[in-house]
Amino acid sequence: MYEKRLLPYRYEFNRDELDAIKACNDAHGFAVVKGVLPPELVEALKHSIRENFAASLHTSHVFLTPKLTEELSTAEEEEADPAAEEITTRTMVDFIEKSDALASLMTYEPYMKIVHALYGNQPVTLNRSAAIYKKPGAGTGPWHTDWEPLEGVYGANAVLNNTGACSNWFYLTGVSPESGGLAIVPDSHTEDWQGFEGFELTENCRSFKPVGGSDGPYDRFDFAECLPLYAEPGDLVIFAERTFHGVFPHNGSETRLSCAINFRPGISGFAECWPRSESTERFIASQPPEVQPIVQHYTGLSFTWKSDQGEAK
């Protein structure tokens, strides 16, 4: 059993505490905002996740390892089949293109006020989105940062996770350490963070491990710096691009449904990028005029694109 940890500062806020939310995320790399979405929106998002996961199968995780990326590029368009029942965590990384409910958040003022506040009230661009369908019995999501270096040959994740965007997750069925919840390491969001006592970063800063311990991402929650988060349906969990996080195994009884939107600061695209898919184009065209500035440079995400392919946009 885990206890809710107290920190010497407050990290849970009401949705109108805009300055405090930004200050906490800037200073500590995360914040939790209570009651951002009303029950109707929570229900619409849950319905949309169930509907979309029933129809298609994306098996991988957003923090893709190269091996998973290769597997996904072949599995990407597969239809759900009975064997897929064995997969306990499914992630969809084009959810906003399929979900009117998620897209509608871009015109939901209480939420967008928080988004704009996080970036100092400058304009933002839709960067990426996700939905996760996590069944009871799902295992640990090892500690990682979503940030990746733009070095050597890299993929779309590295491009999208190098913009200063922070992640905005809604755990629509609530979340706690017992039910596949998120844990973070406060203050791990800065460029010079090197791990905590007794631990060191792994290659390319992807995870951490005990000094001298074997390689691979750390998958335990047994260190003092670990902060398990608790959230209820409608709450928003924000964390910075570099903040280290891990996911507890799901020992609860209800499928965990979550979705995320992530905006990057400013209105611009990328110098080097993959061509937009038809689905991405359709999604952009379908958005109302007031949302166009936010989506005009949205790129979607290609699993097959690599930086050495020279596919300039």
Ligand X SMILES: O=C(O)CCC(=O)C(=O)O
Q: Which residues bind Fe ion (CB under 5 A)?
A: 63, 146
Nearest alpha carbon to residue 242 among 148, 155, 154, 153: 148
Of residues 17, 94, 97, 146, which one binds ligand X by CB under 6 A? 146
Give the shortest CB-137-to-ligand X separation in angstroms: 15
Q: How many residues at the interface with ligand X, by CB under 6 A?
A: 11
Computed on alpha carbons and rounded to an integer, the radius of gyration of the chain in Å comes to 18
Q: Which does 92 bind (CB under 5 to 8 A by kind): ligand X, Fe ion, none?
A: none
Q: Which does 182 bind (CB under 5 to 8 A by kind): ligand X, Fe ion, none?
A: ligand X
Kindly state whether residue 30 participates in binding ligand X, applying the rule CB under 6 A.
no
Kindly state whether residue 195 participates in binding ligand X, applying the rule CB under 6 A.
no
Kindly state whether residue 37 participates in binding ligand X, applying the rule CB under 6 A.
no
- Among residues 162 and 258, whose Cβ is nearest to ligand X? 258
Kindly state whether residue 182 participates in binding ligand X, applying the rule CB under 6 A.
yes
Kindly state whether residue 143 participates in binding ligand X, applying the rule CB under 6 A.
no
Q: Which of residues 119-138 bind ligand X (CB under 6 A)?
A: 132
Q: Which of residues 39-68 bind ligand X (CB under 6 A)?
A: 61-63
Give the shortest CB-182-to-ligand X separation in angstroms: 4
Q: Which of residues 264-293 bind ligand X (CB under 6 A)?
A: none
Kindly state whether residue 32 participates in binding ligand X, applying the rule CB under 6 A.
no
Give me the residues that bind ligand X (CB under 6 A), please.
61-63, 91, 132, 141, 146, 182, 245, 247, 258
